[in-house]
Amino acid sequence: MLPPLLTLFATLARLSVANGASPVVALKYGVFQGALDGNLSTFLGVPFAQPAVRFSLPTAPKVLHGVQNATAFSPACPQQALSAPFPIPPIVAPEMSEDCLKLNVFAPSSASPHSKLPVLVWIYGGGFEIGNSPDTEVRPVVERSIAIGEPVIIVTPNYRVSAWGFLGGKEVGDAGISNLGLRDQIFALEWVQENIATFGGDPARVVIGGPSAGAISVGALLLSNKRFEPTSLFRGAFMLSGSPPSTGSVADGQPYYDGLVAANNCTGSKDTLECLRRVPLDAFKATVDETP
């Protein structure tokens, strides 16, 4: 049950949308004001977890006081600089931050908590080294769904990539923090189950999809989803240009872990993982950029 103040905000939110004002939603941990974009209500940069501590599991977002502005995309999770032996189009690096576990919701402006609309969670690609939730413009898909009388809601979450999301090595396995990027995706799907009804979505009709690394992610998530149980996170999935390859154990990444430890002067530390956590972002990113 919502606290009385959040219940009041939820009532005001419905009145605001009806009067053409900016839409507002009240979640258990905060109140978020989005924007009207044509016949869509958009909520951008909504946290689904606390700011990520480097090489740590995602955790539930803190309670936020006051109305939060949800009208701008959040910074991307740290990206790895790419190079290739052949010409590639220049990649404009987005603003980056380790406080990046946020998502965006695109819903018909007519949606209410009683609408029970189907939901698409779109997982971006980028080779697990780059990628950002605004990479694919999803507004036209929602617009088209409204036009044909089959409205949907689309959610686009961020997840950690490169060494921040997929570091290997024995130390990583022992700490239980392998595949943090996939764990971020699961955490975002759990957020959808708990919160999407407030935006007008139906948690029982969630479909996931994505291209390239997003498709590989979807394949991996299919292996872990308890589809026919009450704890199911989604009911359908599709993959665009990618499927899970065979992989070795997390320990196979030891050479890359050891290389980052050496490059960041952590070799003599009793806890090399904790030492890597304390390296300033710019310095750590510079060493990650030197890896394959």
Active site residues: 212
Residue 8 CB: number of other CB atoms within 10 A? 13
Residue in 80, 41, 127, 9 with CA at minimum distance from that of residue 291: 80
Q: In the 3-class helix/strand/coil scheme, how is the chain assigned residue by residue?
A: CCCHHHHHHHHHHHHHHHCCCCCEEEECCEEEECEEECCEEEEEEEECCCCCCCCCCCCCCCCCCCEEECECCCCECCCCCCCCCCCCCCCCCCCECCCCCEEEEEEECCCCCCCCEEEEEECCCCCCCCCCHHHCCCHHHHHHHHHCCCCCEEEEECCCCHHHHHCCCHHHHHHCCCCHHHHHHHHHHHHHHHHHHHHCEEEEEEEEEEECHHHHHHHHHHHHCCCCCCCCCCCEEEEECCCCCCCCCHHHHHHHHHHHHHHCCCCCCCCHHHHHHHCCHHHHHHHHHCCC
Matching residue, tokens 């905000």: 9
And the tokens for 208? 């996931």
Cα-to-chain-centroid distance, residue 112: 24
